[in-house]
Amino acid sequence: MIWIYAVGERPDLPLPAIAGLGGTVLESIPHGPLLAVASRHARSGFAPEADALWAHEQVVEAVMDQRAVVPMRFGTRVGDDAAAHAVLDAEREHLLEVLERVRGRVEFALRARRPSPAPAGSGRDHVRTLLGEARAAAALHDPLAAVAVEARRSDVRRAGELLRAAYLVDACDVAHFRRSVRLLEREHSDVALVCTGPWPAYSFVNV
């Protein structure tokens, strides 16, 4: 099985000196202007456990430090070299397009939560609460989206969670983005903000 971490540009550049999953040696599979960053394994896959997830992530980040990359979803793998070339060929245009979009950009993740969500009341109270939360989420999201090149909100998943979003930020705007997050933290002291990154652009590679 060949595990694929990312597809990048500049197949002429050497890969970073970093081990792949299970301590394997990283390999480059060049295909025209693209390369797949991969490793070979006798086993059929890896379970999504913390160690394996971080190992995959470290490879993508190391490659991202050198060149534009399209990160693969954890678990992306092919049977052999012929299959790797076949998918690179089939997705060539799409991958080149995405590389163009993410070049020189990084992703930040933001989650916002109210530590003490309002208790459930009447139907009218509930509607009022929902409206208030939608406004609060927009007040956090909009200023950050304005600094980002692209922004995506996903569904909130927990009680009290106001916002779960990803921002694609130009490398030259990273400091500005971080300042904006700190400013929001001060302005909205009733909300717990968690911002992580920079990440490879995982949330912006599927059109």
Partner 1 sequence: MSADDVALVDLLDRLLAGGVVLGGDVRISLADVDLLDLRLRLLLRGVT
Chain contacts with partner 1 (rule: CB under 8 A) = 4, 7, 45, 48, 50, 53-54, 56-57, 70-78, 83, 87-88, 91, 95, 98, 107, 109, 111, 154, 157, 164, 166, 194, 196-197, 199-200, 202-203, 205-206
Measured from the CB atom, the residue of 45 and 121 that comes closer to partner 1 is: 45
Instruction: Give residue 193's identity as a one-letter amino acid code.
Output: L
28 burial (CB, 10 Å; 0-12 / 13-18 / 19+) is middle
Measured from the CB atom, the residue of 20 and 200 that comes closer to partner 1 is: 200
CA atoms within 13 A on the CB side of 157: 5
Query: Distance between CA atoms of 13 and 207, rounded to whole angstroms?
Result: 28
| CB 74, min distance to partner 1, A | 4
Measured from the CB atom, the residue of 111 and 141 that comes closer to partner 1 is: 111
| CB 127, min distance to partner 1, A | 27
Query: Distance between CA atoms of 154 and 170, rounded to whole angstroms?
Result: 21
| CB 89, min distance to partner 1, A | 11
Nearest CA to 163 out of 116, 108, 111, 107 is that of 111
